[in-house]
């Protein structure tokens, strides 16, 4: 199945831009922001060379990028944008509007922390800030997954009638060259088909009003529709992952289980750190330690039951967050995972680590230390009361 000509070296941004070329959206509206700038930049080259039929709207801000994306998607087109950090924050007002209007906009999002202080490097504070905006969220480990997830994202979004952000860790994935196996253009075109929405503004046969005012008598009902769609999107994701695996041979799921079959201790994390954690797992396994890794891909919809089932046989679990929830007790991934585990007969003792804020590097040894600490946690005299360990911050 793998064609040698289609095996290329690409950065995460290049891979996602390549996916966008193959998707050939009707409209792209984008604005520069580090580290996502390249995506729009590379795509602009495709437009300039006539490689896509996309109407490229060079907006004057991310707010307008998302606003124009909403307009274009509501009009009936397949529409994309890309952003990071402050750009996502500026878009944040419009994100829940896109999901409430059930617009399947797909947006590569390159994770970068949020100011202040201003910093251009990776953590997940930006996407966590908008985690309840009604957008599906997929966190990728590498350029290959980013490429595949953007392609699959179109399919999932259009079936679920919900927008999706596909995120990659800023610079770590976005700017690092890696091997990517591409899918031939014609196969992508065939796989995605043409977008045919049922409700669209330009429809000459049915005039509609979109985005009207709800008072107390209808807001809750409309919100319920979006909430329900988010729950239902789980089955769609599952089905699309299976279809993608069948067609293109690469397997994805809500999360990836690595060495989990007999694991007693595991780390749960998202993004590029998981590549490093896999090395740590391999090292510790050589010493006979029963450790594993669960790498979350799909954070929204949150696969609570599936995740709890996978984690419940563990003795201990370290949940590693690349963002903080500012005194919530624990950070977002930990909070939601523990809520999923709560009330189950069997559940591991957990501990939350926050690491890597503002692009702070994390090394294999540090992750090994986390495993060792969690292996020790199986001893009953250990203290579990500590709330969050902040890894790698100077005191």
Partner 1 sequence: MATLKELAKKPEYFTNGHRGCAGCGAAIVARHVLMATDGNVVVANATGCLEVFSTIFPFTAWNVPFIHNAFENAAATISGVEACYQSLKAQKRYDKEVKFIAFGGDGGTYDIGLQALSGAMERGHDMLYVCYDNGAYMNTGIQRSSATPKGANTTTAPAGKVEQGKTQKRKDFTAILVAHHIPYVAQAVVGDWADLTRKVEKALSIKGPTFINVFQPCRLGWGYEPSRTIEMGRLAKETCFWPVFEVENGVYKLNYNPKDRKKPITEFLKPQSRFKHLFKEENKPLLEEIQKDVDQEWQRMLKICEAT
Partner 2 sequence: MENKKMGWKELPDADSMSAGTSTEFKTGDWRSQRPVFHKENCIHCLRCWVMCPDVSIIVKDGKVMGYDYDHCKGCGICASECPINKKVEFEKDKCAITMADEKEFQK
Which of 3, 93, 132, 228 touches partner 2 (CB under 8 A)? 228
The phi, psi pair for 65, rounded to 5°, reads -60, -50
Which of 32, 47, 55, 382 touches partner 1 (CB under 8 A)? 55
The answer to whether 206 contacts partner 2 (rule: CB under 8 A) is: yes
Nearest to 195 by CA among 25, 48, 13: 25
Residue 331 in tokens: 């950070």
Angle, to 10 degrees, between the axis of helix 332-341 and the axis of helix 304-311? 80
* Sites for partner 2 among residues 158-197 (CB under 8 A): 161
C-alpha span between 104 and 78 (Å, rounded): 8
The answer to whether 288 contacts partner 2 (rule: CB under 8 A) is: no
Cβ atoms of 367 and 392 within 8 Å: the answer is no
C-alpha span between 58 and 303 (Å, rounded): 36
The answer to whether 209 contacts partner 2 (rule: CB under 8 A) is: yes
The answer to whether 198 contacts partner 2 (rule: CB under 8 A) is: yes
Which of 11, 22, 34, 67 touches partner 1 (CB under 8 A)? 67
The answer to whether 210 contacts partner 2 (rule: CB under 8 A) is: yes
- Residue 203 falls in which region: left (phi positive, over 0), alpha (psi -120 to 50) or beta: beta
Q: Which does 53 bind (CB under 5 to 8 A by kind): partner 2, partner 1, none?
A: partner 1
Nearest to 320 by CA among 257, 270, 255, 369: 270
Radius of gyration of the chain (CA): 21
The answer to whether 202 contacts partner 1 (rule: CB under 8 A) is: yes
User: Do the strands 106-111 and 164-169 form a parallel or antiparallel pair, or are they unpaired?
Assistant: parallel
CB of 18 to partner 1, least distance (A): 20
Nearest to 135 by CA among 55, 172, 81, 58: 81
CB of 199 to partner 2, least distance (A): 4
Q: Which does 156 bind (CB under 5 to 8 A by kind): partner 1, partner 2, none?
A: none
CB of 176 to partner 1, least distance (A): 33
Q: Which does 161 bind (CB under 5 to 8 A by kind): partner 1, partner 2, none?
A: partner 2
Piece of 105-113, 129-137, 202-210, 317-325 that binds partner 2 (CB under 8 A): 202-210
CB count in 10 Å sphere of residue 166: 28
User: Which residues are at the interface with partner 2 (CB under 8 A)?
Assistant: 100-103, 161, 198-199, 206-212, 217-218, 220-222, 224-225, 228
User: Which residues are at the interface with partner 1 (CB under 8 A)?
Assistant: 26-27, 29, 53-55, 57-61, 63-64, 67-77, 79, 93-94, 97, 201-204, 207-215, 218, 222
């Amino acid at each position: 199945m793998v064609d040698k000509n289609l095996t290329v070296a690409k950065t995460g941004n290049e891979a996602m831009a390549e996916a966008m070329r193959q998707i050939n959206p009707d409209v792209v509206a984008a604005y520069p922001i580090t580290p996502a700038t390249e995506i729009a930049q590379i795509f602009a080259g495709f437009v300039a060379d006539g490689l896509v039929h996309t109407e490229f709207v060079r907006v004057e801000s991310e707010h307008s990028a998302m606003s124009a994306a909403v307009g274009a998607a509501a009009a009936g087109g397949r529409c994309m944008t890309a952003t990071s950090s402050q750009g996502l924050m500026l878009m944040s007002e419009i994100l829940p509007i896109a999901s409430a209007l059930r617009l399947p906009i797909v947006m590569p999002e390159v994770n970068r922390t949020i100011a202040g202080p201003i910093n251009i490097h990776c953590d997940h504070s930006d996407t966590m800030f908008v985690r309840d905006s009604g957008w599906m969220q997929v966190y990728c480990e590498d350029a290959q997954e980013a490429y595949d997830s953007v392609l699959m994202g179109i399919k999932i979004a259009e079936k679920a009638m919900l927008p999706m952000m596909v995120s990659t860790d800023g610079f770590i994935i976005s700017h690092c060259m890696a091997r990517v196996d591409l899918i031939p253009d014609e196969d992508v075109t065939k796989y995605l088909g043409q977008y045919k929405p049922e409700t669209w503004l330009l429809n000459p046969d049915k005039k509609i009003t979109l985005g009207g005012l709800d008072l107390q008598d209808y807001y809750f009902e409309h919100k319920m529709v979006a909430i329900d769609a988010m729950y239902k999107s789980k089955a769609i994701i599952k089905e699309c992952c299976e279809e993608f695996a069948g067609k293109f041979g690469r397997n994805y799921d809500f999360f990836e289980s690595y060495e989990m079959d007999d694991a007693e201790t595991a780390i749960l994390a998202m993004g590029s750190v998981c590549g490093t954690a896999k090395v740590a797992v391999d090292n510790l396994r050589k010493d006979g330690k029963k450790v594993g890794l669960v790498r979350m891909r799909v954070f929204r919809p949150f696969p609570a039951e599936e995740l709890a089932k996978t984690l419940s046989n563990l003795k201990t679990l370290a949940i590693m967050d690349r963002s903080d929830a500012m005194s919530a007790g624990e950070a977002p991934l930990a909070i939601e995972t523990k809520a999923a585990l709560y009330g189950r007969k069997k559940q591991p003792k957990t501990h939350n680590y926050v690491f890597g804020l503002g692009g702070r590097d994390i090394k294999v040894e540090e992750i090994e230390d986390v495993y060792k600490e969690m292996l020790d946690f199986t001893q009953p005299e250990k203290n579990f009361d500590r709330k969050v360990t902040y890894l790698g911050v100077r005191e």
